[in-house]
Amino acid sequence: MTPADHRDTWPAPYAAAPVVADVRLPGSKSLTNRALVLAALADRPSVLRAALHSRDTQLMAAALTALGAEVDSAGADWTVTPGAWRGDVDVDCGLAGTVMRFVPALAALSSGPVRFDGDPHARTRPMGAVLGGLRDLGVDVDDDRRGTLPFVVHGTGAVKGGSVTIDASSSSQFVSALLLAAPAYDEGVDVRHEGGPLPSLPHIDMTVACLRERGVEVDDSEPARWRVAPGPVTALDTVIEPDLSNAGPFLALAAATRGSVLVRDWPATTTQAGDAWRDLLVQLGAEVSVEADGLRVTGRELHGIDVNLHDVGELTPVVAALCALADSPSVLRGVAHIRGHETDRLKALATEINRLGGEVTETDDGLRIRPARLHGGTFRTYADHRMAHAAVVLGAAVPDVRVEDIATTSKTFPDFAGTWAGMFA
């Protein structure tokens, strides 16, 4: 099977028997884009081995190239050569949160205006906290006070930096954006979060770890406060870990079909939020074991769960798909912030699972899911790769599910559809 274009639907493979397979995943999008940013700030060229080739990472590479870095992404290993920051350029963010949030803090170092825009839905994603934070640090940002794309950052060649307080309750990327650029600011940054609960804290931990690996001094000893000292960023020859969030649908395939799936090269230690799959799948009733070659999940009867996914909100769509197949009710909590992701994921999940006969109710911060007899039909993805992941998991257990715009998965996993279909061979 091959991915359909955006006008078509794709027949999700149905598992008439337990699926037994193994898979090797492409590199982490989150780690690749953080490594690209820091390599562009480094003191000499860096090499990113096993970097992810996807739309989001290519958009990041293009943005950094426009600003003056040189990114050679032709092979499996990418070389990034820092350059002088320049202005009077345009940056296409696509639908990539890391591009629209991380790059403006770098654009402030440029020598002129940097214009940002993206896909139509990108214009609805919240940006106010990071743009406001940059203003508080003395950066001239023109967004007509909308707090969304499109906007212009007027770089002056330097940023003083200093202390800033933001409300990052809608995205941890607001904090990461300021931390990643901070070594290049004259005084570094001292970022405080004040507001609602901070989502996806593992992603900030990932940012801090990436900075420290490159010799940057970071003090995160106080809750909701991060201090990054100014100074050089050491170039690295680094290997990008497999994307553990993208592991979700493959591990869920074992749970949904009572099969056995091995994800190869699972890291022994990691800051990736996707490592939470090991615990979540056990709660759902599967067996999880660490083997010499990777992480193996063996499916058993699926049971409902009551779980707070606040720190790992990106896993919610696949968790919801498994809960819709479970034998008892589930409650997913703490993920109000995913309404501001590529789409309103809570509304979209409830709508699409219910379209297949499910019984899903939205709450203020999550979903309530009751057992129901599901049937085939079209599952819309809203140009959101995580929605497509949920769809194919359901399709593995429910005949005749068709997925709209399966090609949206290229955002973080090129040829996802081909890899997925190969699991059923």
Q: Indicate which residues carry an active-site annotation.
A: 314
Rounded to an integer, what distance in angstroms lies between the CA atom of residue 170 and that of residue 19? 37
| Six-digit token string for 264 | 């190869």
The reply, when asked if residue 345 is annotated as ligand binding, is yes
Contact yes or no for 201/222 (Cβ under 8 A): no
The reply, when asked if residue 125 is annotated as ligand binding, is yes
Task: Give SS3 for 117.
Answer: strand
The reply, when asked if residue 169 is annotated as ligand binding, is no
For residue 319, CA distances in Å to 130, 159, 220, 250, 253 come to 30, 42, 31, 12, 11
The reply, when asked if residue 200 is annotated as ligand binding, is yes
Rounded to an integer, what distance in angstroms lies between the CA atom of residue 38 and that of residue 377? 44
Rounded to an integer, what distance in angstroms lies between the CA atom of residue 191 and that of residue 136? 11
CB proximity list for 231: less than 8 A, separation 6 or greater = 183, 188, 215, 216, 217
The reply, when asked if residue 411 is annotated as ligand binding, is yes
Q: In 10 A of CB 373, how many CB atoms? A: 9
The reply, when asked if residue 386 is annotated as ligand binding, is yes
The reply, when asked if residue 212 is annotated as ligand binding, is no
For residue 214, CA distances in Å to 34, 81, 109, 235 come to 12, 15, 20, 7
The reply, when asked if residue 30 is annotated as ligand binding, is yes
Residue positions forming the annotated binding site for 3-phosphoshikimate? 29-30, 34, 171-173, 200, 314, 341
Question: Which residues contribute to the annotated binding site for phosphoenolpyruvate?
Answer: 29, 97, 125, 173, 345, 386, 411
Binding residue numbers: 29-30, 34, 97, 125, 171-173, 200, 314, 341, 345, 386, 411
